[in-house]
Structure 1
Amino acid sequence: MRTVDVAEVEAVVAKLCVEANHALREDHVAALERGRLAEESPIGREVFDRLLENARVSAAERIAFCQDTGYAVLFLTIGQDVHFTGGSLAEALDRGVAQGYRDGYLRASLVRSPVDRVNTGDNTPAMVHYDLVPGTGIELTLLVKGAGCDNMSALRMLTPAAGVEGMRRFVVETIEKAGPSASPPVTVGIGMGGTFDRAAVLAKRALTRDPTGSPSPDPKLAELEAELVDAINATGIGPAGFGGTVTTVAVHVEAFPTHIAAFPVAINLDCHSHRVRSVTL
């Protein structure tokens, strides 16, 4: 048995909120640099140059990379032999988000509900996903998710008859519909399988893969990811939607067992402001 005070988790969450919003992960900056080299359009290369300069300035000056500082989406993988003390873990997570957004001078973007659109004032509640595993470890990942790209995300309950080809068409259709609204170059998270809700969580979690653009350990999924990168870039939407050869810098696919009569597919887009941080406690 391992005992952890929730105050420790709260402090870590606050720090991650600031770090994620102020400094893009180095691996994602490297993905943008690779995208810049691959982009054939002059205006597309200029967009990449400005994104890279923005990343440099935001990290150096400790200011938000993007004005939309997003939802705080938290993934917690918790060993079943961990016992939390000092109060509610859920409340500690929200306090950590609130503190981080205050400390980092980050915009509070959440309203109380879609119909009661009064700002909660501190960017809480956090959107939290828990997984229990054997042992005493705690892994915490923060994904800062803006609304522009989230609004362009999609989920479809395909049938097995549609197959992988139907999934490919759905992905390209979603990218084309999003156009510039998802603020490309995008990172694409795809969840396949499970139930309606599980597919969406898989897609969101796929966005947190480290490093950006690393292939799935499953050879079939890795091949599919590479094919989808080519198909998406062939749309010609390009950086910021100005046209070009690089619309995505990465496609990450996660799969899960599903019903014999189902083929759920969720597509979660993340914009050029791909903000992720992880820590092991």
Structure 2
Amino acid sequence: MRTIDVSEVTWLVRRLCMEANYYLPADLRQAFVRGQKAEQSPLGKEIFGEMLANCDLARRNDVPVCQDTGMAIVFAEVGQEVHLTGGAFEDAVTEGVRRGYIDGYLRLSVVGDPLRRENTNDNTPCVLYTSIVAGDKIKITVAPKGFGSENMSAMKMFTPAATREQIVDFIADACIRAGSNPCPPIVIGVGLGGTSDKAAYLAKRALLRPVDRRNEDPMYAEMERAVLDKVNASGVGPQGLGGTVTALSCAIEPFGTHIAGLPCVVNISCHVTRHAEGEL
């Protein structure tokens, strides 16, 4: 059994909130380079150049890569051999988000109630997903999510008779209809199976997959390629101004489901698909 004081969790979350907003993952930056080479529109190529310059400027100066620093989505994998002391785990995570957003001079975009709409002025509450895993470590991933892209989420409860082609068409159509709203080129996360809430979780989690990695199952890898082909053939293009690269990646995460259902959730992310992870 390993003992960890929750104050360590707070400081890790604080750091990750800032790192996620300042530094884009290396695989995503490389996708910008590939996208610029593949893009056929001169304006689209120029936009990719601006995206690269922006992410490099943010990294050099420790400033947010986007003005919308998002709502903090936190994935915590807690080892079952860890004993937490000093307070409640969720409180520690929330305090880490509070400190990270205030200390990092990140935009505070969260309201405490969906209808009263009063800003909490510290970007809490966050959305926390906790899972118990083997081992004596805690792994935390912070994935800020802006709402220009989050608002483009889509869900469909397919019947079990739905074909792969129908599912691919639904995913692609949701992305194409989104147009310029999610600040393309986009990253597409898809949850398939489970229940409606499980599919939504899987879709969000799918956005953490490196953009250059396909599903290990050839069937799902082929569906991912089919979605990308359809979306990139739409002509929406970088920032919705026309072009041949509208999406950088598609990740489908499947899960077992009921014999009577087939939930599908699409979670679209902007080109600034941010996340940072750390371990205690």
Aligned to 2:74: 74
2:41 aligns with 41
Whole-angstrom distance in 1 between the partners of 2:227 and 2:63: 34
Equivalent residues in 2 for 1:52-71, closer than 5 Å: 52-71=52-71
Moved over 6 A (4+): none
Q: How many residues are aligned here?
A: 280
Structure 1: state its 5+ residue gaps.
none
CA distance in 2 between counterparts of 1:176 and 1:113 reads 31
Taking the aligned partners of 1:116 and 1:84, their CA distance within structure 2 comes to 35
CA offsets per residue over residues 64-88 of structure 1, 9 Å max, x none?
1111000100111112221111101
- TM-score (structure 2 length as normaliser): 0.98
3-state SS of paired residue (1:168): helix
* Superposed displacement of residue 2, structure 1: 1.5
Render the CA deviation track for 1:86-116: whole Å, top value 9, x for unaligned: 1011011011011111121001100012201
1:105 equivalent to 2:105? Answer yes
Letter in 1 for 2:251: H
What's the secondary structure of 1:78's corresponding residue? strand
- Asked whether the equivalents of residues 112 and 124 of structure 2 are also in contact (C-alpha less than 8 Å), the reply is no
For the residues of structure 2 that align with 1:84 and 1:32, how far apart are their CA atoms? 41
Deviations 1:117-153, CA, capped at 9 Å, x for gaps: 0001100111001111222232211111000000001
Q: CA deviation at 1:201?
A: 0.2
2: distance between equivalents of 1:278 and 1:212? 16
Which residue identity is paired with 1:227? A
Normalising by structure 1, we get a TM-score of: 0.97
Aligned residue number for residue 274 of structure 1: 273
Matched AA of 1:181: N
What's the % identity of the aligned pairs?
46
How much is the aligned-residue C-alpha RMSD, in angstroms? 1.0
Q: Is this contact kept in 2: 1:213–1:252, CA < 8 A?
A: no
C-alpha deviation, 1:219, in angstroms:
2.1
CA distance in 1, matches of 2:11, 2:245: 38
Give the deviation of 1:204 after TM superposition.
0.1
Deviation of residue 163 (structure 1)? Answer: 2.3
- The aligned runs of 1:11-160 (5 Å cut-off) are 11-160=11-160
Task: State the 1:178 CA deviation.
Answer: 0.4
